[in-house]
Amino acid sequence: MRNYFEFYTIPESFLPDEKAIKQQYYQLSRQYHPDFFANEPQEKQAEILQLSTLNTNAYRTLSDADLRMQYILKEHGLLEEGGKNELPSDFLMEVMELNEALMELEFDFDAAILKQVSEQTIGMQAQLEADILPVLQRYPELHGITKDQALQQVKTYYLKKKYLLRIQETLSKFATQS
């Protein structure tokens, strides 16, 4: 499988030029449209179909911030199934406390506790975003840290964000019940 950034001839970035992605997608969509190759040999048609599919998958991935982050981390071997996805214990304790509060709300609903858990989750998410933004903005041209260290920081952010999204999903279920 070809690297999406190379296929689009843009540098690997967590915050790429969105316009460049869209331009490349449209240009390659025209270039590799299967209808233009209908009279070509079967081999050529199969190759064009493959390139057209690659273009669609690249666009879908690179134009979505979460999918793009996941893709970059996987490309660097940092998000493997069953791989080491360890998070700091203080974060895990905080998340465990939030989950326990949510479980208690299942049995004994209290709007004040729901609001508190919601605000705490939003605060954690905002802090997470603020902490990672400078790394995302400067990647891969970093000062003071290596590319590998930056990727590890992004991986930790990505995994923490997934935890917080699960909590937010549970919170939104409470919101629809009240």
Could you tell me the CATH number of the domain that includes residue 20? 1.10.287.110
Residue 166 and residue 139 in one domain: yes
Q: Is 79 exposed, middle or buried (0-12, 13-18, 19+ CB in 10 A)?
A: middle
Q: Are 61 and 124 in a shared domain? A: no
In which residue ranges of the chain is pLDDT below 50?
none
User: Does residue 27 sit in the same domain as residue 70?
Assistant: yes
List C-alpha distances in Å: 169 to 59, 133, 158.
27, 24, 16
| Domain span including residue 35 | 4-75
Residue 80 domain-assigned (yes or no) = no
14's tokens: 């967590």
The CA–CA distances, whole Å, from 40 to 36, 45, 47, 52 equal 9, 6, 11, 15
- Same domain flag for 169 and 126: yes
Same domain, 115 and 151: yes
**pLDDT for the residue 13:** 96
| Residues 54 and 130 both lie in one domain | no
Token digits of residue 151: 């990727």
Separation between Cα atoms, residue 91 and residue 152, nearest integer Å: 16
Q: Which residues contact 160 (CB under 8 A, 6 or more apart)?
A: 87, 91, 128
Q: What is the pLDDT of residue 14?
A: 97
Confidence at residue 177, expressed as pLDDT on a 0 to 100 scale:
67
CA atoms of 136 and 72, how far apart (whole Å): 12
The answer to whether residues 71 and 94 belong to one domain is: no
Distance CA 92, CA 166 (A): 13
Residue 82 falls within a domain, yes or no? no
Question: How confident is the model at residue 175, as a pLDDT?
Answer: 72
Peptide bond into 41 cis (omega under 30): no
Q: What is the pLDDT of residue 178?
A: 56
Query: Do 34 and 67 fall within a single domain?
Result: yes
Our count of domains for the chain comes to 2
Compute φ and ψ for 119, nearest 5 degrees.
-65, -40
Tell me whether residue 130 is exposed, middle or buried, using C-beta atoms within 10 angstroms of its C-beta: 0 to 12, 13 to 18, 19 or more: exposed
Say if residue 103 is in the same domain as residue 61.
no
> What pLDDT, on the 0 to 100 scale, is given for residue 79?
86
